[in-house]
Structure 1
């Protein structure tokens, strides 16, 4: 009986997570965050007055007519470099918002890829640290959890934007990496973080170092 109850609890938790994932979350009055499933539902646009969509998936999605769309092919992988995507997607978001559009930002489940772009947007427009942006977004959408590689790159984005760092913020980022690593267990978080710091806050160099070390270890095995 104990095993049956445990399975029911697990199923209940899955249902709750699924419900949160497919919820259309208003992060700001003109920025919404959700999943691909919600993005394909015409009611998402009717009920929220959404007129533009930013997609960050590996799949193309069908949207209602007369919706402005922008798609970036983004993999939810710690190997994926976000820099160019952030630059172009944020420019497009600003253009849409300034034109009076309400924008839905989505990936597959609205947890990592699209959440990372929304976090970067909050950092840029409010001049917030990653901690401030994450806590604000998390309070609106509880399932938000970028993969560890994206978290490090968002921290890099904060530095690039000239947003003042604090000990409190950097400690929060390290804790967030640990939390994210429970979902993305294959990511060598500690090694990547240390390499990121050693390479002058360059995630691209950190990834190259990781690949070089991994290749060397493979040859030695």
Structure 2
């Protein structure tokens, strides 16, 4: 079978270390040389379209099968995936989270991890991540779910608001992208995860409310896919 080819801007493809043990990149940096250089011990493939690259050998990995669309449901994955990343880092390993360009899907996973384990808030997590990797820009659907996730795990109203351009009422963005004095109006907070999407799987909320905690359970793909991803 022919290789799957992706044309990715080198700036997006490069590997960035966000905090100790957590790396993010685009698909073009998935090389055996880079895995050795950064001592990667676990890979999170946040895409649907990128196969698990055979040339990376037997590095443990998980594939999340996410589409980069506002409708994609990422919220149900966040608790278990962030716990999994933390477990690897706590044991001395290095985790690489990737999508195609290292901008949206992988960034959303990293932001959830930072919010839960390294930062006081989602806003602080974004500011840290944007300082290290300015190109990060999760799609608006992921932002809605990240806002809901912050409210859930921090038990607060949240630190990021959605704003609307008064001249482009169909465009909604998080206020961390722009100065608040630029003619944008605030939207209401998403008060909880259920408001994001009817039928959203909020088992993590129920688990926390009941005092339980999800144990770390690796969800690995033991069989490599038969196609190869290339830049």
Output the TM-score relative to the length of structure 1: 0.70
RMSD, aligned CA: 3.0
| Displacement of 1:201 | 6.0
CA contact (8 A) 1:129 1:164 kept: no
Q: Give the number of the structure whose residues are more often strand, by fraction.
A: 2
Which structure ranks higher in relative contact order (CA pairs < 8 Å, sequence separation ≥ 6)?
2
The CA distance in 2 between the partners of 1:117 and 1:79, in whole Å, is: 16
CA contact (8 A) 2:74 2:142 kept: yes
| Displacement of 1:200 | 7.6
| Displacement of 1:19 | 2.1
Matched, 1:109 2:98: no
CA contact (8 A) 2:75 2:146 kept: no
CA contact (8 A) 2:104 2:136 kept: yes
The change in CA–CA distance for 1:92 and 1:206 in structure 2 (over 3 A counts) is: closer
Cα displacement string for residues 95-119 of structure 1 (whole angstroms, at most 9, x for unaligned residues): 2112221010001111000100000
CA contact (8 A) 2:13 2:101 kept: yes
Paired residues, number: 177
Q: Secondary structure at the match of 1:33?
A: strand
| Displacement of 1:126 | 2.5
Matched, 1:66 2:47: no
CA contact (8 A) 1:151 1:177 kept: no
| Displacement of 1:165 | 4.1
- 5+ residue gaps, structure 2, are 1-6, 165-170, 178-184, 201-231
Q: Secondary structure at the match of 2:197?
A: helix
Residue of structure 1 equivalent to 2:24: 33
Question: Which of 30, 36, 45 lines up with 2:35 in the alignment?
Answer: 45
| Displacement of 1:72 | 0.9
Matched, 1:202 2:205: no
CA contact (8 A) 2:24 2:106 kept: yes
The CA distance in 2 between the partners of 1:127 and 1:162, in whole Å, is: 11
The change in CA–CA distance for 1:130 and 1:177 in structure 2 (over 3 A counts) is: farther
Matched, 1:174 2:174: no
The CA distance in 2 between the partners of 1:199 and 1:27, in whole Å, is: 28
Q: Give the number of the structure whose residues are more often helix, by fraction.
A: 1
| Displacement of 1:205 | 2.9
Residue of structure 2 equivalent to 1:3: none
Output the TM-score relative to the length of structure 2: 0.67
Q: Secondary structure at the match of 2:106?
A: helix
Residue of structure 1 equivalent to 2:12: 21
The CA distance in 1 between the partners of 2:102 and 2:53, in whole Å, is: 17
| Displacement of 1:132 | 0.7
Q: Secondary structure at the match of 1:26?
A: strand
Larger radius of gyration: 1
| Displacement of 1:91 | 2.3
The CA distance in 2 between the partners of 1:156 and 1:145, in whole Å, is: 17
